[in-house]
């Protein structure tokens, strides 16, 4: 496969370049390597017949490429998109809609005549976008609303009188309704009030970080300071103090269902998602922010978000389970042995370390070195791999 690089400003100049064996640092930031058949940037398949768009090949033979189960459930499109994500700077504070919300929002914007390429467009398709991120390096993220009791402690410890009004909202109703009310107030503070409040909050964060007394929320305060420096006057800086803060070790993963408010802060990871472009932003970005629409899709249920470490399938083979039928991600460590990875639907194998050799049902072999990927259609099985290295495997989430 030949895959596309997205050069967003928050990307790394080294991570993707080094993975691909290209000159490093790269001339421009490289944020995401897209591996799949997204219509905006489809991968191509390279063989003796040349280079052909994977999206076009699926359109020509959807059942043969995807298999009958995937085609019946998702239609003539690859249901997942695999990415290598490399963040040197924070991504926007964002959430993704459910199927029902995406269908309704897309239809409304189509009826209103909002161009699909417009910067003010919220829904670029009618699909939901659940996703999973698996860390390749230490990976920092904000994900989901924290338990209200902990957030009350965090904000109270700052000792900022101007926060008392906001604290009262959550203290009086320590559940999803209180969380919703507090976030709504924070994200809609008028700029004239936000500036002084944010200055006082960040000054208090500085004092906490400088204090010789260890704080329960030292990492959260440092995160707010870092975001405040990058996004001065952005309400998303205050909102970050309401969210769970994660430092993932390599191999750890987070699953983000519809409505989960999150922001990736720094690190390199493997991301897999339903094949959609729908993003509702809430801050930490110069891009379009639609707070009323964001409020419609957010899940305000507070609490811990589980860190997934993979369920063992076999020796050095783990799968990251999610309830999403569009995708399944697994990680395999090969030490010279041969393993069967047949699936009755589509699959992509991406080598992260070392080199593997993949063999299809016709006996054709292909070498897949570090940074490269290989596509197998539903009709290509059985599939075997051997070699020495680390491989991520992306399939649909259907049985078989």
pLDDT range class, residue 389, cuts 50, 70, 90? very high
Of the candidates 77, 281, 328, 344, the residue annotated as catalytic is 281
Query: Alpha-carbon distance 96 to 87, whole Å?
Result: 19
Cis upstream peptide for 34 (omega within 30°): no
What pLDDT, on the 0 to 100 scale, is given for residue 346?
97
Q: How far is CA 220 from the centre of its chain?
A: 20
What pLDDT, on the 0 to 100 scale, is given for residue 214?
81
To the query of whether residue 281 is one of the catalytic residues in this protein, the response is: yes
What pLDDT, on the 0 to 100 scale, is given for residue 107?
97
Mean model confidence pLDDT for the chain: 96
Classify 147-243 by CATH class.
Answer: mainly alpha
Q: Which of the residue ranges 12-16, 138-142, 154-158, 396-400 would you say has the lowest mean pLDDT?
A: 396-400
Please indicate whether the domains covering 147-243 and 312-395 agree at the CATH topology level. no
* pLDDT tens, position by position, 74-89: 999 999 999 999 999 9
Tokens standing for residue 384: 């075997």
Q: Which CATH superfamily is domain 4-142+248-286 in?
A: Jelly Rolls (2.60.120.10)
Is residue 93 within 8 Å of residue 86, measured between CB atoms?
no
Higher-confidence position of 271 and 48 = 271
pLDDT range class, residue 400, cuts 50, 70, 90? confident
Query: Could you count the other beta carbons within 10 Å of the beta carbon of residue 49?
Result: 7
Domain residue spans of the chain: 4-142+248-286, 147-243, 312-395
Q: How far is CA 374 from the centre of its chain?
A: 22
What pLDDT, on the 0 to 100 scale, is given for residue 369?
97
Q: Would you say domain 312-395 falls under CATH 3.90.400.10? A: no
* pLDDT tens, position by position, 150-172: 999 999 999 999 999 999 999 99
């Amino acid at each position: 496969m030949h895959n596309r690089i997205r050069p967003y400003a928050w990307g790394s100049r080294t991570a993707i370049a080094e993975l691909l064996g290209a000159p490093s640092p790269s001339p421009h930031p490289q944020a995401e390597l897209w591996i799949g058949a997204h219509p905006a940037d489809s991968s191509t398949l390279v063989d003796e017949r040349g280079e052909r768009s994977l999206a076009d090949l699926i359109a020509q033979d959807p059942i043969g490429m995807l298999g009958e189960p995937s085609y019946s459930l998702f239609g003539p499109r690859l249901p997942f998109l695999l990415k290598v994500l490399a963040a040197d700077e924070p991504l926007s504070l964002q959430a993704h809609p459910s199927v029902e919300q995406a269908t309704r929002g897309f239809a409304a914007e189509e009826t209103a005549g909002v161009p699909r390429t417009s910067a003010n467009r919220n829904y670029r398709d009618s699909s939901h976008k659940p996703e999973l991120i698996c860390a390749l390096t230490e990976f920092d993220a904000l994900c989901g609303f924290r338990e209200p009791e902990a957030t009350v402690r965090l904000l109270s410890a700052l000792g900022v009188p101007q926060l008392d009004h906001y604290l009262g909202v959550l203290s009086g109703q320590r559940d999803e309704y209180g969380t919703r009310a507090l976030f709504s107030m924070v994200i809609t503070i008028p700029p004239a009030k936000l500036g002084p409040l944010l200055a006082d909050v960040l000054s208090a964060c500085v004092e906490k970080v400088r204090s010789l007394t260890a704080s329960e929320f030292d990492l959260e305060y440092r995160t707010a300071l870092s975001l405040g420096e990058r996004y001065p006057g952005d309400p998303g800086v205050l909102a970050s103090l309401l969210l769970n803060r994660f430092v993932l070790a390599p191999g750890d993963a987070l699953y983000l269902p519809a409505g989960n408010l999150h922001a990736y802060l720094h690190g390199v990871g493997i991301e897999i998602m339903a094949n959609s472009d729908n993003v509702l932003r809430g801050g930490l970005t110069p891009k379009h922010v639609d707070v009323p629409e964001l409020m419609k899709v957010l899940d305000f249920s507070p609490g811990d978000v589980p860190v997934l470490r993979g369920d063992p399938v076999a020796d050095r083979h783990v799968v990251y389970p999610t309830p999403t039928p569009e995708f399944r991600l697994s990680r395999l460590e090969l030490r010279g042995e041969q393993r069967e990875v047949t699936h009755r639907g589509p699959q992509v194998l991406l080598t992260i370390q070392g080199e593997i050799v993949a063999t299809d049902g016709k006996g054709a072999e292909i070498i897949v070195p570090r940074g490269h990927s290989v596509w197998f259609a539903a009709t290509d099985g059985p599939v075997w791999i051997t070699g020495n290295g680390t491989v991520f495997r992306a399939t649909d989430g259907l049985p078989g």
